Structure 1
Amino acid sequence: MLTSTVCAAVSAAGLGIAALTAYRKRFLAATRIAAFSLIPIGLVMTGVIDWVTNIVFKPTVWAGFGVLVLSAVLFMISRGVERRRGGIGSRKERKAAAADRSGAVAPAASVPSLGAARGAAQPAPKGKAAQGKDGAPKDDFSDIEAILKKHGI
């Protein structure tokens, strides 16, 4: 009952201030003030104020909030201890899983194919002798053939 009276007084004061603001020809500001001042009385009429006061002034509700907070704190502590000990989802397990995934599908595929086909010390041939009939270098397809042979195709 007291909260309803207080909210009604706040709304009346707000509407009075809105009227003074409108008298000063500041209609947009007066409209905003009137909108804000109608909120408390609207909350009283819908029953929200009674609901909030029942929550605020009941000790069992505060005890319930305390139990929820205690539950959240215990959950966070257990997760922290689990991570430090190396429990489920630990860093060690994640690193081991990443190492298993990073292995090459074909271990020989990591060696560059050109190094095996040409050799490191053998330079590429130059001049007309290195070109075929149509003017393209002879070793164009030899690189591709080496890659295909390496993969067993």
Structure 2
Amino acid sequence: MIAETVCSAVSAAGLGIAVVTAYRKRFLAAARIAAYSLVPVGLVMTGVVGWLADTALSPTAWAGFGVLGAAWLLFAGTRAAERRRGGTRAERKAAKDAGRAAVAPAASEPSLGQVTRPAARPAAAPRSSGTADDFSDIEAILKKHGL
């Protein structure tokens, strides 16, 4: 009963705002506001508001929402654990077996014959002593990593 009254009051207020907007010659906005303000009355007339009010005040409905939440948590938890573990036992075995067999045993052979590679460019000489000193620490790091 209270929910229906509140919805009717919201609709009446929305229609009042739509009339004021139309008075200001903003007819498109007024029509949109009137459409939005008729939605609560339509929900009351279809019985959706009464059903929602009964559901919101029902301990059985809240227990049902709790059970649905627990089911969702179990589902999400098992999916996360499965991803962390690397899939199911059968999936891991299939991946291990697939890793043993070569996909293309002749893949290491060149398919177009022997390819000649161009000669490497000669190393460029340092431009000046100032820039060589600036990059010496970077060169040392690159050499350390084999680059």
Q: Which residue is 1:17 aligned to?
A: 17
Structure 1: stretches of 5+ with no match in the other structure = 121-153
Cα gap change, 1:80 to 1:89, in 2 (>3 Å): farther
Distance in 2 of aligned mates of 1:76 and 1:88 = 15
Q: Which residue is 1:39 aligned to?
A: 39
Q: Which residue is 2:2 aligned to?
A: 2
Structure 2: stretches of 5+ with no match in the other structure = 117-147
Distance in 2 of aligned mates of 1:97 and 1:2 = 66
User: Considering only CA atoms, is the larger Rg found in Structure 1 or Structure 2?
Assistant: 1
Amino acid at match of 1:44: V
- 1:88 equivalent in alignment to 2:102: no
Q: Which residue is 1:59 aligned to?
A: 59
Amino acid at match of 2:62: W
SS of residue paired to 1:34? helix
> Does structure 2 retain, via aligned residues, the 8 Å contact 1:7–1:40?
yes
- 1:29 equivalent in alignment to 2:33: no
Aligned-residue offset at 1:77: 2.4
User: What percent of counterpart residues are identical?
Assistant: 57
Amino acid at match of 1:2: I
Aligned-residue offset at 1:56: 1.2
TM-score, normalization by structure 1: 0.61
SS of residue paired to 1:103? coil
> Does structure 2 retain, via aligned residues, the 8 Å contact 1:44–1:50?
yes
Aligned-residue offset at 1:2: 1.1
Cα gap change, 1:22 to 1:82, in 2 (>3 Å): closer
Cα RMSD (Å): 2.8
Amino acid at match of 1:38: L
Amino acid at match of 1:68: L
Aligned residues: 114
> Does structure 2 retain, via aligned residues, the 8 Å contact 1:83–1:90?
no
> Does structure 2 retain, via aligned residues, the 8 Å contact 1:11–1:41?
yes
TM-score, normalization by structure 2: 0.63
